[in-house]
Structure 1
Amino acid sequence: MDQQGMGPLSETSGAKREQPANEARHRFMTDLIERAKKRAKRRMKDEKGEKGITYVDLRDAR
């Protein structure tokens, strides 16, 4: 690789450049999973209380 001015990065450019993308993807996926868990928990609570009426209402409103 002929990267000038990169300092310590230039030796391991490949591995270091991949890291932020993987980090971002990992954070994104964990965030998605957490949100899905919360949504599922809320829906289960709704279905116990009012048999999923809110879920059907959302579909009808479209």
Structure 2
Amino acid sequence: MKVFKGINMDIIFWIIFSLIGFFAFSLLLKTNVKINKIASKKEFFPKDPQEKYFINKVKK
């Protein structure tokens, strides 16, 4: 019975460990997606006004 109890605790530990790992991984993916969306919008790096002016000049 002692051996069975040890195996049972091991299983419970691995289930908890894998759940925490999965939760952390999904959180990491969510934040990565958010960072990519912000970076793709270039909110961190707004365009230089002069650059916009020259791009508009070239288009016309």
Stretches of structure 1 that go unaligned for 5 or more consecutive residues are: 1-9, 54-62
TM-score under structure 1 length normalisation: 0.61
- Larger Cα-atom Rg: 2
Structure with higher RCO (Cα < 8 A, 6+ apart): 1
- Tell me the residue number matched to 1:56: none
Same amino acid, percent of matched pairs: 7
- How far off its partner does 1:16 sit? 1.0
The two structures have a TM-score, normalised by structure 2, of: 0.63
**Count of aligned positions:** 43
Could you tell me which runs of 5 or more consecutive residues in structure 2 were left unpaired when the two chains were aligned.
Answer: 45-60
Q: Could you say what secondary structure the match of 1:21 adopts? A: helix
